[in-house]
A and B are shown apart, each in its own frame.
Chain A
Amino acid sequence: GAGVSQTPSNKVTEKGKYVELRCDPISGHTALYWYRQSLGQGPEFLIYFQGTGAADDSGLPNDRFFAVRPEGSVSTLKIQRTERGDSAVYLCASRGNRESELFFGEGSRLTVL
């Protein structure tokens, strides 16, 4: 695609529910990143994929958070037993193999009531 696409753009859920957020990177980009941004803060790193494998998942806050990228393209961020503190904008970014510039999607705004 022309840019990084994220769905849904907005998600409202209740505490304790399960949520999936999807990211479709720029076609051909091998590296994919998930970040989380709270109001008034800079983006906070969650996980980085190179191809299908997670090259760095040190930013995942706890075991309720999990991400996959089974075919090396689309990625899904999964959050179990959501808590109010999980409310944030979840940003996805991708990068080409020979480039170091990161391209971001518009984000998925998650609100946990």
Chain B
Amino acid sequence: KQEVTQIPAALSVPEGENLVLNCSFTDSAIYNLQWFRQDPGKGLTSLLLIQSSQREQTSGRLNASLDKSSGRSTLYIAASQPGDSATYLCAVGRGSTLGRLYFGRGTQLTVWP
């Protein structure tokens, strides 16, 4: 069974800092990896999707990397802002076909002004 772990569980930083959120998974035979953002009481918003053949994806101030062989991904947030405060979830799709995603518990991020 695929296990996904996210570290740290919570993070509180002042505005302007560059951040790294970590995600690790036990089975390296993944189809893709997706990072989501979840605001309190809301659904999940997709941030970045990395296919298994890719090493990284970038969108604005966000950059996600993937190292399949070591079972790790990092989400880098540059110049953090209070509006970035949310829970960030990592999810991996296992195997060679699209199907279920396995989620971590998330990193709860607070960026204070």
Residues of chain A at the chain B interface (Cβ within 8 Å) = 4, 31, 33, 35, 40-45, 48, 55-56, 59, 91, 93, 95, 100-107
Contacts and interface: CB of A to CB of B under 8 A. Distances in A.
B99 A95 contact: no
Interface residues of B, number: 24
A63 B77 CA distance: 43
A84 B24 CA distance: 32
A56 B99 contact: yes
Nearest to B49: A101
B26 to A, nearest CB: 15
Contacts of A35: 103
Contact of B89 (A42, A45, A55, A59): A42
Contact of A107 (B4, B43, B98, B104): B43
Given A100-B31, A100-B32, A100-B98, A42 B46 contact: no
Contacts of A106: 42-43
Contacts of B4: 42
B34 interface: yes
Contacts of B101: 33, 43, 45, 102
